[in-house]
Amino acid sequence: MDKRILIPTDFSKNALKAVRYALDLYRKLNCEFYFLNVFRVENYSTTTLTIPEPGSAEYENAKLKSEEEFAKLLEMVALHHDNPKHTYHTISTFNYLSEALKQTIAEKDIDLVVMGTRGATANREIIFGGNTVNAMEKIRDCPVLAIPPDISFKPPAEIVFPTDYKTPFKRKELKYLIEIALMHGSAIRVLYVSKKANLSQLQQNNKNLLGEILMNVTHSFHSLSEKDVSDGITLFVASRDSDMIAFINHKHFFFGSVFSRPLVKELGYDATVPILALH
């Protein structure tokens, strides 16, 4: 198999959009898809001190409901996304979503997590909204692709890659971005947002290195003189009708503070295009 992709779902329409996007994005590759549902048990939650025991009526009923929803999901996939290159697995569990993600990524050797930025409710505290942002920030073992609601798949013609050029680039960090670009003939638009137009020697060296790494992909370099990084990216994407944003979430470079705090939250909650968080 070329890819192992994990897709958490609460079976909402928004979560279904994320499933469809992932299946279409990787339709050309041999993939194993793992659908994960963190189910709820009546009168219990992951915040209560008591935990329902497997085998109890409440637990088994909730698990059965999850499995029945999975059966419907797999029917939809077979009907609309019949692809001999893809195989599917389902996981139903009572757990914290963050723990279930971490455990499944490790046990199944997951390459990519795909999540909707909204679940069954627009409430930021319910399962998806906040958890998708947390996943983009905290999952370090594989990239996370966040799919906003109301997105229908179209091959990404243009992917915006914001950077400050302050950290040297590594080919393995950009592997998934380049792979998507090559699969769909996408152009990568490298975006530098800063009040300082001139680059330091270190930044220029890193820019040159990035150009070498992207040499087999259509790409171009752009800069914006904008005080707010978030506004600059948003304006750039909107003005060009770009199809995706990708960024490397380094802990200790400016995305680690400016980007992954307010900006990932802004983009994660109010995204209009898919966001690929690379690590």
Which residue, 121, 147, 173, sits at the end of a domain? 147
Same domain, 141 and 242: no
Same domain, 13 and 132: yes
| Higher-scoring residue by pLDDT: 124, 176 | 176
Residue-wise pLDDT for 197-219, tens only, equals 789 999 999 999 999 999 999 99
Same domain, 110 and 241: no
- Number of structural domains, the chain? 2
> Across the chain, what does the average pLDDT equal?
84
Can you give the pLDDT at residue 264? 54
Does residue 153 sit within a domain? no
pLDDT band at 149 (very low <50, low <70, confident <90, very high): confident
| Higher-scoring residue by pLDDT: 14, 241 | 241
Same domain, 43 and 108: yes
Same domain, 192 and 271: yes
Q: State the residue range of the domain holding 14.
A: 3-147
CATH number at residue 87: 3.40.50.620
Same domain, 268 and 167: yes
Same domain, 106 and 213: no
Can you give the pLDDT at residue 218? 97
Q: Where are any strands of DSSP class E within the chain?
A: 3-8, 31-38, 86-93, 112-116, 144-147, 158-162, 187-193, 219-224, 244-248, 275-278
In the sheet that holds 3-8, the strands lie side by side as 86-93, 31-38, 3-8, 112-116, 144-147, 275-278, 244-248, 158-162, 187-193, 219-224
| Nearest Cα residue to 37 out of 57, 64, 75, 17 | 64
CA distance 188 to 207: 14
Can you give the pLDDT at residue 180? 97
Does residue 121 sit within a domain? yes
**CA angle (251, 257, 261) in 5-degree steps:** 105
| Nearest Cα residue to 233 out of 269, 196, 189, 199 | 189
Residue-wise pLDDT for 47-73, tens only, equals 555 667 776 888 888 888 999 999 999
Which residue, 124, 147, 170, sits at the end of a domain? 147
Backbone angles phi, psi at 203, to 5 degrees: -60, -40
CA distance 21 to 116: 10
Same domain, 64 and 38: yes
Does residue 152 sit within a domain? no
Same domain, 74 and 138: yes
**CA angle (164, 130, 117) in 5-degree steps:** 80
pLDDT at 184 over 90: yes
| Higher-scoring residue by pLDDT: 172, 230 | 172
Same domain, 87 and 214: no
Residue-wise pLDDT for 239-277, tens only, equals 999 999 998 877 644 444 434 444 555 554 456 889 998
Same domain, 31 and 110: yes
CA distance 169 to 156: 23
Same domain, 128 and 216: no
Does residue 228 sit within a domain? yes
Which residue, 105, 125, 147, sits at the end of a domain? 147
Can you give the pLDDT at residue 49? 55
| Nearest Cα residue to 192 out of 182, 180, 206 | 206
